[in-house]
Structure 1
């Protein structure tokens, strides 16, 4: 079996340099990197991830837990995670949690046993129970949902997003506006979206928006008066023609 020392001897560098190149670290020139990569390919060297795990006390495995694999958001996140993980030499362990929290607990215990390098939760919050099951040494982050507790997360502000979207439609003059909030029982997504939805309450609009609405009303009134004033002569002319025909008859 080819070892890292064999690669180092073939490339004319130290084993530490080979380790830095293989693991994507810094501290070497482009020429050195090319020599090491050539030696790796020539000798068909493969990294011993088990040995690395014993040394670093963690494996090159990232846990990715999603409620539904077919979900549009989850599939996009999974694609991004897998591409980045492959580029950095990590493997992804995918788990479908569904709606049962028991599945999440089982996956977390497994990832803790495997000494995963990290865990990503999609559409799930990090609870104290989650942290306890995973242990203090495994990093974890949630995607798409934030519980405002300070736990690591990548998510949008659903309440502000709903408010901004509704305000934009109101500024365009729309009045009959519907809202899709997702699962109505979700306290982390649906309820913030409902709070951010102004429900056509113009008092919550920016002063500039209210000014725009006043201008639109004045413009409509002006158009209405102009149309009414222009319509009267035509009606009067028709009446005169009708009266003239009656007199001739």
Structure 2
């Protein structure tokens, strides 16, 4: 077991906001520690330099119970009801399966990729909300696959690669809406389009 002499288990506990006994349980690989607490302590230990064998082994094995919700930086992301509903739904699912949720924004101006942030934040489960449909993320997707990162994409993915996606059936949705309007006697029906560059916009029209 190796660690920096200036960093103690009490330092780990203080930075993680837990009792020293809890931090010691994690360092000693005890099984009766909640996954989210264990992950937090391991991350803090690695960050401040308490690099025991178990810390490094856990981080290198990527055995993290955290789910990363990754999205490109967008000025309206946190003010859009749709995205807030998505986050709430994903958060509820994480709680159900005892996993923590980490929100990660992608700074595209610096050329960040989804694969890069997965390595930076040590996650192997990622949910991608692709709000910028004009950006080609095919290389990102291939890197995630090659890196054995489990991921799913919210909304449609226009690339050729086969990926797991969660999206809306726009054709069926518009069809049902029109049928409902017609059944109510409406004949002059307008359509308010969203982002013309999105993967969904053209299908809804």
TM-score bracket for this pair, using the shorter chain length: 0.5 to 0.7
The residue that corresponds to 1:74 in the other structure is 83
- Is this contact kept in 1: 2:155–2:166, CA < 8 A? yes
Where does residue 176 of structure 2 map in the other structure?
164
Distance 1:112 1:172, change over 3 A: same
> For residues 112 and 70 of structure 1, what CA distance do their matches in structure 2 show?
28
**1:84-123 alignment runs, 5 A limit:** 84-86=93-95, 88-97=97-106, 101-102=108-109, 105-106=112-113, 108-123=115-130
Q: Structure 1: which 5+ runs fail to align?
A: 9-14, 25-45, 195-249
Larger Rg: 1
Correspondence for 1:54: 59
SS in 2 for 1:69: helix
Q: Which structure is richer in relative contact order (CA contacts within 8 A, separation 6 or more)?
A: 2
- In 2, Cα distance between equivalents of 1:49 and 1:159: 47
Superposition RMSD in Å: 3.5
TM-score scaled by length of structure 1: 0.52
Aligned to 2:4: none
Q: Could you tell me which of 36, 52, 64 is aligned with 2:69? A: 64
- Mapped partners of 1:6, 1:133: distance in 2: 32
How far apart in 2 are the matches of 1:86 and 1:73?
20
Separation (CA, whole Å) in 1 of partners of 2:88 and 2:188? 37
CA distance in 1, matches of 2:184, 2:203: 24
Q: Give the structure with the higher percent helix.
A: 1
Q: Which moved more, 1:48-57 or 1:63-72?
A: 48-57
User: In structure 1, what is the Cα distance between the partners aligned to 2:28 and 2:123?
Assistant: 27
Task: Spell out the pairing of 1:124-139 with structure 2 (5 A cutoff).
Answer: 124=131, 127-134=137-144, 135-139=146-150
Conserved in 1, the CA contact under 8 Å of 2:35 and 2:99?
Answer: no
Q: Give the TM-score taking structure 2 as reference length.
A: 0.61
Q: In the TM superposition, what is the alpha-carbon distance from 1:101 to its structure 2 partner?
A: 4.7
- How far the C-alpha of 1:175 sits from its partner, in A, is 0.8
Name the SS of the counterpart of 2:70 in structure 1.
strand
Report how far residue 152 of structure 1 moved.
0.8
Paired residue secondary structure (1:49):
helix
Indicate how the Cα distance of structure 1 residues 122 and 190 shifts in structure 2: closer, same or farther if over 3 A, else same. same
- Compared CA separation, residues 103 and 190, structure 1 to 2 (3 A): farther
